[in-house]
Amino acid sequence: MSGITNVLRFKELEELGNISEEILELGQEVPVWLFEGQMGAGKTTLIRALCHKLGVVSSVHSPTFSLVNEYIGEQKNIVYHFDFYRIKDESEAWDIGLEEYFDSGSFCFVEWPSQITSLWPERYMLLNLIVEDDGGRVLTITEIGNA
């Protein structure tokens, strides 16, 4: 079942810091977030802003080659950041224990989830970031599944 869809528009990636708090309020009860969007749309920048709001003090960067980065927040909360752009098949995600990460209750931010569609959990936040012709961006956020 799909939940409410929220649409946010912004012009500059720097605005993500301001809207990340609103985004976290929308998805505070949903640990798995799937980030779709073309290359360069700002997925990693958005995840960096969200991690900052969650108190992560370490450097946040895309785990393109390691598949997953683990960040620790000021309150000892853990945030997992996945990037499946370069995987050849879903077994690579399965082999790193993706299901255990998703079941951990910690935030799991997943870039390029279209590479692992059969591994998506029953409940998740779907965030689709689109770059418009004028360079502005549209972020569509939808909660999928039941609590």
Mean pLDDT of 2-22: 83
62-76 pLDDT tens trace? 887 789 999 998 888
Residue spans of the domains in the chain: they are: 2-144
The average confidence (pLDDT) of the chain is 91
Q: In sequence order, what DSSP letters do the residues of 48-93 get, joined into one string?
A: HHHHHHTTB-S-----TTTSEEEEEBTTS-EEEEEE-TT-SSHHHH
- Record the pTM: 0.92
Phi-psi region of 16 (alpha: psi -120 to 50; beta: other; left: phi over 0): alpha
Express each pLDDT in 92-142 by its tens digit.
Answer: 999 999 999 999 999 999 999 999 999 999 999 999 999 999 988 999 999
2-144: which CATH number, 3.40.50.620, 3.90.1150.10, 3.20.20.140, 3.40.50.300? Answer: 3.40.50.300
Work out the end-to-end distance of the chain between its first and last CA atoms, rounded to an integer number of angstroms: 10
β-pairing, 124-131 with 32-37? parallel
